[in-house]
Amino acid sequence: MSFDSQAWLAEARALIGEAHVLSADCGDDLSAYTRDWRNKFEGPALAVLRPADTGEVQAIVRLAARTDVALVPQGGNTGMCGASVPTAGGRQAVLQLGRLNRILELDPENNTATVEAGCILQTLQEQAAAAGRLFPLSLGAEGSCQIGGNIATNAGGVQVLRYGNMRDLVLGLEVVLPDGERLDLLRGLRKDNTGYDLKQLFIGAEGTLGIITAATVKLFPAPGAEAVAFAGVSSIAQAVQLLGAMRGRLGERITAFEVISGAAVDLVRHYFPDTPPLLEGACPWYVLMEASDGGSDEALHEAMQTALMACLEDGCLQDVVLAGNLAQGQALWMLRENITHAQQMDGGNIKHDISLPISRIPAFVEQMLPRLQQAFPGVRPIVYGHLGDGNLHFNVSAPRGVAPAAWQRETDAVNTLLHDVVVAMRGSISAEHGIGQLKRHELALYKTPAELDVMRRIKQALDPQGVMNPGKVL
């Protein structure tokens, strides 16, 4: 019997309301939901569904399972791997979680918050701060990405060094399974050894095992003092040396440590000309670092100043500026966050999100830069990222004069050049962005058969029909 899309849409409307079922058949523009943030992936959707609560998510999942329609869970659609939009094949509907956006509980005494999946990251950050607490996940898309997407991608960002990634911040989950069952794991316990830790299956699963509808996450005491510094260094090796020196002197107070290549700073300056001048001269590499603690601003600034001067004397840095006030610190962070936007404006690039043991990063970069030039003369590496946790965004822009589309066709060759070396050095081809559609074929290349077999058995056990986000990860 052929599939009757009108009947299916009518059933969906009866479940979640006319206004919350969008479809091309009814003249709705679905492109905001079916095209990814990078404009790299797009796929047709039978509908975009916007349920109001967990009960409606369950009803939609049961309808999808009964009628063999696949679901693509979607949060802020800021993912980097094409995992939040439909693929080309088969009947797929986007399940947009944005209406499940309530903060269900904020418990300062237990240092936990329980939020629905569609809560925007920045909203949780703000609500936590209003309660004198910190929710530490921080990344450039925080104004639009959602907690459910952060969990499904096991997001990292700029404070992993001090607080860990999303996996480290999640205490409990509520998940709707592919058969529509609700799995209530919403406990805010830091210790609970009662059988398999099921929530771990869904963290970083990119929506392929179930729909996250709520989460209990850790909160931390809000820092009393913050200090931001921007240093120029002579090499990536010196940046690693500086990391060790600053952590040796300030310990856990170092909450962020980002490395930025000179080419990345130049690109931001080109597209954001009001970026303030930072240091006297140009350096090949820069480090943006932040420290925070529960003391006073004066005490922390003094400790940071003392540590930086000692590093200058010890030859761990060439030049440095310590932000004198909040606005200057924010301007430094704006430079860092504008790199992704500058690259988008520059016409796209071949992105990499690699991680290595920190001690091996200098050797990797120093061998990779010349090899890239040899293989692709004139290519423009834009290298930056979370050096504090060994995570580099080794993004490669086209040689001048090469059209973006032509450059994208070199993706596999560039990826092979980088990822073969990363894996040989016991690193990862995806530190924080996930696999999605973008790296699905590479996962099969770089994971062992045993790893892939266990992943497939877990997928088969939980989603035998393949309803959840097909064509992603596996």
In the complex, which residues of this chain contact ligand FAD (CB under 6 A)?
37, 72-80, 83-84, 97, 117, 139-141, 145-146, 148-150, 152-153, 155-157, 206-207, 211-212, 340, 432-433, 469, 472
- Look up residue 87 and give its two tokens: 């693929």
* Shortest separation between residue 208's beta carbon and ligand FAD, angstroms: 7
Q: How is residue 81 annotated by DSSP?
A: S
What are the backbone angles phi and psi of residue 471, rounded to the nearest 5°?
A: 80, 10
In the bound state with ligand FAD, the residue whose beta carbon lies nearer, of 98 and 223, is: 98
CB closer to ligand FAD, 33 vs 407: 33
Q: Cβ distance 305 to 322 under 8 Å?
A: yes
In three-state secondary structure terms, 360 is: helix
Residue 395 binding partner per list ligand FAD, ligand S2G, none, with a CB distance cut-off of 5 to 8 Å that depends on partner kind? ligand S2G
- What is the CB neighbour count within 10 angstroms for residue 94? 24
**Residue 137 near residue 166 (C-beta atoms within 8 A):** yes
Residue among 81 and 134 whose Cβ is closer to ligand FAD: 81
The position carrying tokens 């290349």 is 445
Q: Report the distance separating Cα 86 and Cα 42, nearest Å.
A: 7
Helix pair 54-67, 5-16: axis angle to 10 deg:
160
Q: How far is the CB of 101 from ligand S2G (least distance, A)?
A: 23
Of the candidates 20, 50, 199, 393, which one interacts with ligand S2G according to CB under 6 A? 393
Beta bridge partners of 172: 216
Nearer to ligand S2G, 11 or 337 (CB): 337
Q: 401 with 407: CB under 8 angstroms?
A: no
**At its nearest, how many Å lie between ligand FAD and the CB of residue 176?**
9
Q: Least distance to ligand S2G from the beta carbon of 319, Å?
A: 24
Judged by beta carbon, residue 55 or residue 140, the one nearer ligand S2G is 140
Q: Select from 234, 289, 208 the least CA-distant residue to 459.
A: 208
Q: CB of residue 282 vs ligand FAD: minimum separation in angstroms?
A: 25
| Cβ-closest position to ligand S2G | 340
Q: Would strands 182-185 and 170-176 be described as parallel, antiparallel, or unpaired? A: antiparallel
CB of 96 to ligand FAD, least distance (A): 8
470 binds, among ligand S2G, ligand FAD, none (CB under 5 to 8 A by kind): none
- Give which of ligand FAD, ligand S2G, none residue 393 binds (C-beta under 5 to 8 Å, depending on kind): ligand S2G
- Nearest approach in angstroms of CB 351 to ligand S2G is 5
Q: Does 80 bind ligand S2G (CB under 6 A)?
A: yes
Q: In which residue are the tokens 């936007």 written?
A: 341
Burial class of residue 401 (count of CB atoms within 10 Å of its CB; 0-12, 13-18, 19+):
exposed
- The reply on whether position 439 binds ligand S2G by CB under 6 A is no
395 interacts with ligand S2G by CB under 6 A: yes
Environment class of 314 (CB within 10 Å of its CB; exposed 0-12, middle 13-18, buried 19+): exposed
The residues binding ligand S2G (CB under 6 A) are 80, 140, 340, 343, 351, 385, 393, 395
